[in-house]
Chain A
Amino acid sequence: MEQSLKFHSKVADLPRPVKNYLNNDPGIWSWMTTIDHKRIGVMYLVGVMSAFLIGGIFALLVRLSLLTTHHTIFGIQVTAEVYNRMFTLHGAIMVFLFIIPSVPAALGNFVLPLMLGAKDVAFPRLNLASFYLWVTGAVMAVASMIIGAVDTGWTFYTPYSTTTSGTVTLMTMAVFVLGFSSIFTGINFVATVHKLRAPGMGWFDMPLFVWGIYSTAIIQVLATPVLGITLVLLALERVFNIGIFDPKIGGDPVLFQHFFWFYSHPAVYIMILPGMAIISELIPTFSKKTMFGYRAVAYSSVSLALLSFIVWGHHMFVAGQSQLATVVFSALTFLVAIPSGVKMFNWLGTMYKGNISLETPMLYAISFLLLFAIGGLTGIFLGTLSVDVHLTDTYFVVAHFHYVMMGGTVIAFIGGVHYWWPKMTGRMYSEKWGAIGCALVFWGFNQTFLTQFFLGSKGMPRRYYNYLDQFQPLHAFSTYGSWILGAGLFLTAINLLASLRKPMDAPDNPWGGTTLEWTTSSPPITHNFEDQPVLERAPYDYRPEVVAHS
């Protein structure tokens, strides 16, 4: 505790208000009908964490059934059908129910208006509607698991998805609904950033988290509708045989992949951009140093968002698209490396000559740097045409996107949860257990997924129930890693939840942050700020005279 308070301003906190957003209007009903962005953010956080738990259990089961070639989990035989359903549900839940809404809808909802000095988002009721759409989508997805099964993989490739039995139609409709939840969040955030900035806050005075969420929101608005229409077409194909994707009646299955990836590649950036945005907050705050290359990082967020729309064909190098398209998409794909690299180098530049303290959020930030570096560099293998032919559709790809999605986004997300936890709950968690949890997650993650690069380059295809005996040792090693990873996440969750039993002891600004959310009380009052804040200094300005003045 004493350690975590070391940046705490010498000036005493304002007297803690008796009423905050948590206890202002108690009762389940007031939560369920709330239009307070902070409460919606907290409800989203609970929701996505539950989804993460379910998806994580499926992940552990998938790894467990791959432990040996006998396909048993605790002595129960796992058939290929069950295995296929497990990895499908793992993917679909993690992508659509967890990662996509995780940072924007949970943390973004809570933090974005605070950072802008606003009372709420632009359309509070739309925000609540977005949450209930998410709940509806989640219920539909769970229903499709219970009353039937989906074994298509989260990508729903045709014609398998139009011909297999099971509740694929319900699942696609669930994802359709979740898509609109995402669109509403996106519309809300774009409008909020445009119209609700505090007086004095120009575009380049916004925290980098806001830049990241803003870029994400652009993608959510412009790409998600295409997912919506794609899933409608898929459902119509299943029910009415409209003949667009089904080759049997003159359709083209590769067209589905174009439609799907036109959304789902930008969706990768819906996942990673907010992760990068969190890291851009953590690094200057815990380095106590002015953000290096603020504008470069802000521009790189926007340019990544735009680039994300023109590279989707790299998922289809061997899928039967024309060779011209393959070459064009490969060339464009390499452009993604530039803004990603710019971000990476500027983060390192910010750490250089900083005053770096390794609190739990910063440990996650450094983990992110290492893991995302591996994720990004292995992406170069996959963008290189001749090498991709061998590596695509193998465990190499599985490992690559887990390094980006889990090693990137989820690590950043957990770091962000630790960072804003005092603000959200008014409590400090145990730094010691936070650090141990982070170490276990980092180790377990690498053991699980670094192994899979070797499996993949050796020629182990993905989505395989059976595998050749030669791969068994590596599979076993990867499965052991998943247990460590699971233990680390479990420990982290316990650590955070345990803090809720304590009295509210968190100071208003425990980390010495410079953005506006740290100027209000922890937890904030319902209307965020007692007085409309006016921006007096740019974010991440750690010059002593500026810090002293504020």
Chain B
Amino acid sequence: MEQQFDTSKIGMWLFLATEVLLFGGLFVGFGLMQARYPQEFIEAHEHLQRPLGALNTVVLLISSFTMVMGVNAAQRSDKKKLVMFLTLTIICACIFLGVKYFEYSHKFEEHLLPPRWYHAQATDTVRDAQGNVSHGYGTFFAFYFMMTGLHGIHILVGIFLLAWIAVRANRGEFSHAYYTPVDLVGLYWHLVDLIWIYLFPLYYLIK
């Protein structure tokens, strides 16, 4: 049992390393494009609502906390608390997605979209001789949607995993002797949180 638990954990960490590099490609692309269009990126990020981003950060941090409390409950074979904390985590995840939905629809309304659909805003100052705005604005939102979108997909997958774990926990399948799935889903969930910890300042805060 001990052996299998350790093996699963190594496997999970290897998977998390691939996740880091999967997101990493997008972070590298974002960094290079920001270096290419510094002014555009600064102006474009003003369109993101800082309070909503901060709210989502807090929600995800709390969900991480409830998750780790859930794992702790599983280690103590406390079925009731485990189910409760998993439910709380799912609720936090749903709040996060709700806020994201609100933000996304706002962006769509204002046509703050990738280059092909981007509509110039009054505040966009980088323009060519004909008055066309730079592609950099659209590029910013292309990255915004790709990175938060990929992150959102991970949240969605996480909700399903958490629900699955919660159902199994409710059936009493986990105890201090066997809680590997809870631990692994927990690791996944923390990674999703960890990535958001970087996304938040990069998109909402950096000047």
Contact = CB atoms under 8 A, between A and B. Distances in A.
Q: Do chains A and B touch in the complex (CB under 8 A)?
A: yes
B25 interface: yes
A249 B135 contact: yes
A126 B19 CA distance: 17
15 contacts: A122-B11, A186-B14, A187-B11, A190-B10, A191-B10, A195-B3, A195-B7, A195-B10, A225-B21, A236-B146, A242-B114, A243-B135, A250-B135, A251-B135, A252-B36
B156 interface: no
Interface residues of A, number: 34
Contacts of A456: none
Given A221-B18, A225-B18, A225-B22, A243 B10 contact: no
B128 to A, nearest CB: 11
Contacts of A229: 21-26
Nearest to B137: A250
B29 A233 contact: yes
Interface string B13-47: 01101110111111011001100110000000000
Contacts of A250: 37, 115, 134-136, 138-139
Contacts of A300: none
Contacts of A221: 14, 17-18
A236 B139 CA distance: 13
B6 interface: yes
Given A123-B11, A183-B18, A222-B21, A243 B139 contact: yes
B139 A244 contact: yes
A259 B138 contact: no
Given A242-B114, A244-B33, A226 B24 contact: yes
B17 A249 contact: no
B19 A242 contact: no
B25 A230 contact: yes
A250 B135 CA distance: 5
Given A233-B146, A244-B139, 4 more contacts: A229-B24, A242-B114, A252-B32, A255-B32
A9 interface: no
Interface string A232-264: 010010001111100001111001000100000
B116 interface: yes
A228 interface: yes
Nearest to B6: A195
Nearest to A243: B115
A276 B18 CA distance: 25
Given A191-B7, A221-B14, A242 B146 contact: yes
Nearest to B135: A250
Interface in B161-188: none
Interface in B107-141: 114-116, 134-136, 138-139
A224 B18 contact: yes
Contacts of B10: 122, 190-191, 194-195
